[in-house]
Amino acid sequence: MSARNPIIAGSLFGVLCAGAFALNARAADLWQITTVDASGDVGEYSSIAALPAGGVGISYFDLRNSVLKYAWQDSRGWNTIVVDSSGSVGEHTSLAVLPNGQPAISYYAGGQRVLKYAWFDPAGGWSDTIVDGIGGDAGAIGTSLAILGSGDPAISYRDHWNGTLKYARLDAGRWRTTLVDGTANVGHNSSLAIQQSGQPAISYVDFTNDRLKYAWSDGLNWQHTDVSAPGGTNTSLVILPSGNPAIVHDAGGGLNYVTFDGKQWSSMRVDSVSGRESWFGYASLRLQPSGKPAMCYVKRVFPLPADQMYAWFDGGRWKTQRVGRAGGGESSLTFLPSGQPAISYRDANSLMFATRRSPGDLNCDGRFDGADIDPFFLALGDPAAYAAQFPNCDPLLGDMNRDGRLDGGDIDPFFACLGGGPCP
C-alpha cells in the first residue's frame, strides 16, 4: 500500500494544484441524523447509553400518551416499546446499563407523584417498582441513574415537593433513601457519578442561593461544597481519570466547564450567548475514549431556532460543532465502540439520533482503515465518480486537516491518522 499510494498522490498533484476540487465546510454534514420515533409528541427527557451487545438504547417520554418508552438499535434498525403506561409516567428519565448488559431506567411517575425504576430481564421483559414516594410525596425531578461497583443501581433526584436533594440505592433487594441536602430549594437538575472509591457524588443547583453545588459521600456521611455562582439551571457531572470531579453548567450567558484539582475549583468557558431569549440548556457531559471531556447541549441565539451542539476538549481548548436543529427537551451523549459520539435529542416532536461519522471513513462502513484509501483518492481526483459510487457518503470526511476543503493538503494527515498518528 505504502509503495502504491505516493504514486497515486503524485498523479493527482497537477489536478490538486490547479484547484480543481474544493468543498465548502459543512460541519453538520459530518453528522448522520436519524429519526428514531415520530409517533406523536415524543423525545422529551431522552437519555442514551451504548449497549454491550452493540448499538445503543434510549429512554424517553411520550408526551401525547404520557408513557415511558425505550428505543434500541440492532442490525435491522430501530425498535421502540412502551416500558410503563401506569398513569402519567416517564418524565425525567435516566438510562444506565446493568452489569448483565441489560438496560435500566429511573424516572418520575407524575400521576402517582413517585420515583420509579424499571429494568429489563431477557427472561421476563420489563419490570418496574416504586423507589420513593409511596403515598405520592416524592417529586423526583431531574433523576440521574448510575450503577455502583456492587452492580446495584443508585439514583439522585430532587424531592420537588419538599425542595431537597435525595439519593436512593438498591441494597440487598431493598431501596434505601437518604437526604443529601435539606436546605431550602436545592437539588435541581442533579447529576450522579461514582467516584474511584466506589462512593457516589452529585452535582446540583441551589436555587435559594444561586449556587452550583457538589456533594460526595465519604462512605459514612455526605459532604457538600459550593462550586461557583451563579449556579445556573442545568448540571452534568463526570469523574475524571485523575479521580477529580468535573461539572458543566449554564450560567451568566455561558456554558461553563468547572474542574477541581484537589485544592480548588476553576472554570473554563465552553460557549457563550448574549441577548434576550438566547440560552443554553440540557448539557450532557461524558468522557471521550481518550479520557478527555466532551458534551452535547442545546443552544439558542435569538431570533434563530435552537441548535443541538457538540463540544469536545482537545487538551488545550474546547471546540464546538453544530449537529442539527433541536426542538427542545433534554439531549444526551454517549460514545460508540468506534469512539465516535452519539447523541439523542428532540426535534419537531420526534426523537432523534445523531452520530458523527468517523473522519477518514470515505467508504462509510463505520470505521477508518485501509479500505478507505482508494475511496479517498477517488474523492480527491474524481468527485463525480466518488458521488456515484458512494451516494450516501460525504467526501468532506476526507478533510483531514480541517481547512474546509478536500485537496492535496489532506494526504499527509490522512496517512498520519491511518498509521496511528494524530487524527482530527
| Domain ranges across the chain | 5-26+360-418, 38-356
CA separation for the pair 74, 70 (Å, rounded): 13
Confidence of residue 19 (pLDDT cuts 50, 70, 90): very low
Residue ranges of alpha helices (H) inside 344-404 are: 373-381, 383-389
| Lowest mean pLDDT, pick from 18-22, 44-48, 147-151, 243-247 | 18-22
Residues 6+ apart with CB under 8 A from 370: 1, 418
What type of residue is 44?
E
pLDDT at 24: 33
Higher local confidence (pLDDT), 394 or 389: 389
**φ, ψ (nearest 5 deg) of residue 416:** -65, -45
Q: Is 60 exceeded by the pLDDT of residue 360?
A: yes
User: Which pLDDT score is estimated for 80?
Assistant: 97
Contact assessment for residue 50 and residue 73, using Cβ atoms and an 8 Å cutoff: no
Sheet holding 174-181, edge to edge: 141-147, 153-159, 164-171, 174-181
Coil/strand/helix, residue 150:
coil
Mean pLDDT of the chain: 88
Say which CATH topology domain 38-356 has.
Neuraminidase (2.120.10)
For residue 75, the model assigns a pLDDT of 78
Residue 209's Cβ-count burial label (10 Å; 0-12, 13-18, 19+) is middle
128-134 long-range contacts (CB < 8 A, ≥24 apart) are: 128/83, 128/84, 128/86, 129/175, 131/106, 131/155, 131/168, 131/175, 131/177, 132/157, 132/159, 132/166, 132/168, 132/175, 132/177
Worst-scoring range by mean pLDDT, 57-71, 72-86, 348-362?
A: 348-362
85 vs 281: CA distance, rounded Å: 28
pLDDT above 70 as % of the chain: 92
Tell me which of 282 and 215 has the higher pLDDT.
Answer: 215
